[in-house]
Amino acid sequence: MDEKWVLIVDDEESILSVLKNSLKKFGPAFQVITANSGAAALEQLSQRIFDLVVTDYRMEDMNGLELLEAVRAIQPDTRVILMTAYGSNALEAEARQLKAYNYLTKPLEIDSFRQVVKEALGNLAISRPGILILSDERYQQVNNLITQLRSDIGAWCIFLTDSEGHFIAQTGEMSELPLQQIACLVGGGVASLLEVGRIIDGTDDTVNLCYREGKQVNLYVVNIGRQLLLVIICEVGPYASRLGSVWYFAQRTALALREKLGEAEHASPYPLFNHEINQELDSQFDQLFAETAPPQASTARDEVAPAPETPDLPAEELLSFEQAIAKGIVPKEFSGS
């Protein structure tokens, strides 16, 4: 597993110490940083990317919801867990509306706290944009799972992709299908379904099925986290699997894939250069193109005498044609026109 960075925010040093020590059992892959105020947390967030922020609600300089909102603006893919000893349904609803990953009430049970943190970090690779990195062994495990699914339901083809159409694994005959276009289109539908679920009950970490019944083929799409899709295409016929059977085997496979892919390494798509370097590059490119732009060719026929200078006039002053000639704005040769 690649490194996971956790920021714990609380204005009580004793709580910070206990929570930080409770995560040491996860090993060196978990890097835990603490902050005793919202301002200190924002300073940490400006210095590096965190996978998870765990924050108390009631703090002197900034409450947990304000910090949660700031995290959403600074690092939108970072998950946030809100802790409070003053819980209420209204507070929990507001935390869910701001897309808090979880909501915990104090006093905390340490084993439960560790489990929630583990769950929050366990499937990051399938729940945020980026590049999924699979070892040969893990790729083979993934391929075996979708090959077995194809056998269980008699599918024509199955492919595992992200929501942008980048393929991870595939099985079956699919050479003539516009797979990338299919993945991008169904990805939007699944994303909408996940968002509707979050609005209804505050949960978007679910396995969902989208289904399209056609005359020649049936299409099934199952999400794995927020970013990965399992696309299943089955031919219509007397021996085709029924919807319930497909959903049963697909859901079972999706849960197994979540476990395998959730442990994979993940490369976040953060910018290669910072803002200052980008500005400098833009300036250099502008200068380069200005220096290399070909000069405009001119001929005697193209040469035009420079226009005579005209006096500045107040914007509201209106002149007659004769007054314009008198002031030199219109050449005198036009006086007979």
| Radius of gyration (C-alpha) of the chain in whole angstroms | 31
Q: How many other CB atoms sit within 10 Å of the CB of residue 87?
A: 16
Per-residue pLDDT of the chain (337 residues; tens, 9 = 90+): 467 899 999 999 999 999 999 998 888 888 999 999 999 999 999 999 998 999 999 998 899 999 999 998 999 889 899 998 877 888 888 888 888 888 888 888 898 898 888 878 866 655 555 556 677 888 899 899 999 999 999 999 998 988 777 788 889 887 677 777 887 788 787 778 877 877 776 666 678 888 899 988 999 999 887 778 899 999 998 888 999 999 999 999 988 888 777 665 555 544 444 445 556 656 665 665 555 555 554 444 444 455 455 455 454 456 666 676 676 666 666 555 5
- pTM of the predicted model over 0.85: no
Q: Left if phi > 0, otherwise alpha if psi is -120 to 50, otherwise beta: which for 50?
A: beta
pLDDT of residue 244: 92
| pLDDT given at position 95 | 83
**Is 218:155 a contact under the CB 8 Å cutoff?**
no
Half-sphere exposure of 42 (CA within 13 A, CB side): 15
**pLDDT at site 274:** 47
Whole-number Å distance between alpha carbons of 81 and 42 = 16
What is the reported pLDDT for 279? 60
Helix (H, G, I), strand (E, B) or coil at 15: helix
Report d(CA 118, CA 110) in Å as an integer. 12
Instruction: State the SS3 of 153-214.
Output: HCCCEEEEEECCCCEEEEEECCCCCCHHHHHHHHHHHHHHHHHHHHHHHCCCCCCCEEEEEC
Distances (CA, A) of 268 to 61, 132, 204: 31, 9, 21
pLDDT of residue 296: 52
Tell the burial category of 247 from Cβ atoms under 10 Å away from its Cβ (0-12, 13-18, 19+): middle
